Amino acid sequence: MIATPTAVNSLYALGALIGIEGAMLEAYAAQDMHGGVDDGWPNGSLWQSEGRALYALVRALGAERVVELGTWHGCSASHIAQALADAGQGGMLDSVDIWTEAGDRIPDDLRPVIRFHHTDMCAWALEQAVAGADYDLIYEDGEHDTLSVAQVWALAERLLRPGGVIVSHDALHSAVGTAVRAGIEASGLTPVYVQLGGSDCGMAIWRRD
């Protein structure tokens, strides 16, 4: 049986557990002005607090290469792309979703830093791993089934640069969280769980040494 883990509820606490200064995460998060499912985005999007956490992680890591597996309407992509644009280092987001309309609500001014890939996310991730791709951050928010999560997390060490981070959304969700956590457990990696700003979804986060 997959137990429900204890989750931290602040960026400061998260930073202490993954080796990033918590005050820096909080400061970056305060700069992000995009919303979430609790602020106008469609159901299935992440919460505003979670989007701000993604923004903060991208900025704090100095990320230049980010991949998102599961785009939906583009809420998480907007937070990530804004962080890359604000950093001004020429960073790019690869956003992968088989749905051809994915990302339809991303602001036009952020689209130049996004490459869209309308294909199966697990097959795409494996192709990147075989090709030797190295990312600073992976954000997984796809099918929410054990197999696909396990496949992505099993590739994390191959896809991430040293110090890079993988994040899975909905890891604490009442409907799909058990399946997401089972997939993570199958990978053999041990994440930190975080639940922010009233979200009932939660995120699992692991950082490569």
Q: What is the pLDDT of residues 3-60, one digit of tens each?
A: 899 999 999 999 999 999 999 999 999 999 999 999 999 999 999 999 999 999 999 9
- The pLDDT assigned to 3 comes to 86
Contact partners, residue 167, CB within 8 Å, separation at least 6: 54, 57, 137, 138, 139, 140, 203, 204, 205
Does 1 have pLDDT greater than 90? no
Q: What pLDDT, in 10s, does the model give residues 156-203?
A: 999 999 999 999 999 999 999 999 999 999 999 999 999 999 999 999
Span between the terminal Cα atoms of the chain, in Å: 29
Q: Which amino acid is at 121?
A: M
- pLDDT tens sequence across 96-155: 999 999 999 999 999 999 999 999 999 999 999 999 999 999 999 999 999 999 999 999
- Tokens at 24, concatenated: 């820096």
d(CA 92, CA 58): 11
Distance CA 17, CA 37 (A): 27
Tokens standing for residue 40: 């106008």
